[in-house]
Structure 1
Amino acid sequence: MRLLTFRMGADTRWGLSTADGVLDIAAAQEELNGDARPFTPSCDRLAELSELLERAKGHEDLFFDEADLQLGPCLPVANKIICIGLNYRRHAREANMAEPKAPILFAKYNNCLASAHDNINLPTTRYQYDYESELAVVIGKQVKRVSPEEALDCVFGYCVANDLSERELQMSAGQWTIGKMLDGFLPVGPYLVTADEVGDPQNLGIRCWVNGELRQDSNTSDMIFSVAELISYISCYATLEPGDIIVTGTPEGVILGMENKVWLKPGDEVVVEIDKLGRLSNRMTTTDN
């Protein structure tokens, strides 16, 4: 299944993308099941969601044309956003850094979440703006100290992410989070694709274009620590819960690794695409703040 969110006035609503259009999940739950619970991306609601879709067939009032919708982030609110640094072998080499012996973790926050088509503001007080195409993992079960062999069972789904960064802040402050936590600096979407449709997360092509120029062209098989290993490692120290996001690292081809660094600027368009998950396209802009 392919989930998304869409904006309706001041509300952000969950939808299910189908061949018949986008099913308004909240409206369908209330009309067909008398259920007013908010939808959450938890594994125990997948069967319920499939049944809801079957019951909604023929109820045209519950579906929207996706082209008419203003999409939101495919996960509008996260419990935790845990990001991984230097997790692709060739990216570590381009950064002239040794492959890490354990995953490098840093944080982003809900203010970073943006949609697949939002404009992203670049404050004019900084200029070393960079892109990072990444596979994002959305957790669907509460887990603690899960083994790598069982870790993928707790995944609700996957989505495309762009871990935008301001490199001067990231590198000069002695820690990474300050250069990563700017407003809108984690576009995700357009879809949250359930794990059963994705299959092996370690065999997905991942690409990034800037103004039509291909900058990153890799595969998740180049990860140093697999998705399962990341989930297992993190869960040793923090309980993972439905709605947590793990952003798994970027492949080679970022501006930071280039000899001639031309940083992102207002007007640039960054497109990120991952096999089976779709693509997000964001225009860089500025409001002089």
Structure 2
Amino acid sequence: MKLVSYRRDGKPGFGAVAGEAVVDLSARLPGVADLASLVADAAALAQARQIVAGSSGDCPLAQVELAPVIPRPGKIICVGINYVAHAAEAGRTVGEYPVIFQRYAQTMVAHGAPLIRPAVSGHFDFEAELAVVIGKGGAHIAPENAMQHVAGYTCFNDASVRDWQFHTHQYGMGKNFRGTGALGPWLVTADEIPDYRELTVQGLLNGESMQKGKLSDLAFDIPALIAYVSRALDWQPGDILATGTPSGIGFKRQPPVFLQPGDTFEVVIPGVGTLSNPVVNEEA
């Protein structure tokens, strides 16, 4: 299934994409609060599959306003330097442990919504990534059991404010400007992706390919990342794990390429979807 969060007639809802239409699951599953609750509930998820199989949709997809797939994730865990080629272009080496940083939910926008180029910086860069949505929470998860905790996959743009990222050794500030991260357009449930390692992720700027990588090239794979984080923090349903970006980022190009107002950046992951966002200037 392709699951979405959205607003329709000013009200939040969630559902499944059926062709060019949306099946309104929030109306049919009144005991389920939101998409994070749905992916955590195996019985409700099975019921949702039956509903979707018997429905052609309740309204056109074009008539809903998409939200970030999980509008308010408890945590967004991001991984840096997780492709060997990206580590090389950044002048880094892959270490013994993954590079972990965090994003705040309030920085996220949906598919189609504008990414906001900050007023205080012209160094606004792109990062195309595959994101994992957690369905089953837990702590101290063994790597061999980690994929049982995956609800599905979506596209992520970890757009970064590079000069602010490198103000200090802790570069989280440059990853947490308002309106700089994009997540969507939908969650593809894990059963639709037999082996995530066969996926590719590509970043396109105004239609031109800037980044491309294979998920099989991750230095730390998804089970390792889920297990590592779970030693410190309990995963919760609806949490997001962003797996890292391949080489080709803008600020390491010669000359550097940064996002400008009027640009459109797309994250393309065949089998998962295409996340597309225009770029606008922040209003001072």
Query: What range is the shorter-chain TM-score in?
Result: over 0.9
Matched, 1:45 2:74: no
Q: What are structure 1's unaligned runs of at least 5 residues?
A: none
SS of residue paired to 1:40: helix
Question: Which one of 234, 239, 242 corresponds to residue 239 of structure 1?
Answer: 234
Matched, 1:195 2:190: yes
Distance 1:165 1:218 in 2: 19
The corresponding residue for 1:149 is 144
Distance 1:255 1:64, change over 3 A: same
Distance 1:146 1:129 in 2: 36
C-alpha RMSD of the superposition: 1.9
8 A contact 2:8–2:63 mirrored in 1: no
Distance 1:192 1:216 in 2: 22
Which AA in structure 2 matches 1:2?
K
SS of residue paired to 1:73: coil
Matched, 1:94 2:89: yes
Distance 2:270 2:12 in 1: 26
Distance 1:152 1:59 in 2: 30
Matches within 5 A, 1:1-289: 1-19=1-19, 21-30=21-30, 35=31, 37-41=33-37, 43-55=39-51, 63-289=58-284
The Cα offsets for residues 122-141 of structure 1, whole Å up to 9 and x where unpaired, read as 12221111000011111111
8 A contact 1:42–1:243 mirrored in 2: no
Deviation at 1:216?
0.7
Distance 1:171 1:67, change over 3 A: same
Which AA in structure 1 matches 2:266?
V
SS of residue paired to 2:79: strand
Distance 1:66 1:148 in 2: 37
Distance 2:90 2:124 in 1: 16
Deviation at 1:218?
1.5
Distance 1:121 1:51, change over 3 A: same
Distance 2:155 2:147 in 1: 18
8 A contact 2:82–2:220 mirrored in 1: yes
SS of residue paired to 2:106: helix
8 A contact 2:107–2:176 mirrored in 1: yes
Deviation at 1:40?
2.7
Distance 1:130 1:59, change over 3 A: closer
Deviation at 1:110?
0.9
SS of residue paired to 2:72: coil
Distance 1:156 1:254 in 2: 28
Deviation at 1:168?
0.3
Deviation at 1:288?
2.9
Which AA in structure 1 matches 2:21?
G
The Cα offsets for residues 206-229 of structure 1, whole Å up to 9 and x where unpaired, read as 101111111012111111000010
Distance 1:52 1:223, change over 3 A: closer
Distance 2:263 2:19 in 1: 33
8 A contact 2:126–2:159 mirrored in 1: yes
**How many pairs align?**
284
Distance 1:254 1:59, change over 3 A: closer
Which AA in structure 2 matches 1:27?
A
Q: Which deviates further from its counterpart, 40-49 or 121-130?
A: 40-49
**What TM-score, normalized to structure 2?**
0.94
Distance 1:36 1:209, change over 3 A: closer
8 A contact 1:95–1:256 mirrored in 2: no
Distance 2:280 2:40 in 1: 40
Distance 1:238 1:43 in 2: 20
8 A contact 1:82–1:105 mirrored in 2: yes
8 A contact 2:35–2:70 mirrored in 1: no
**What TM-score, normalized to structure 1?**
0.92
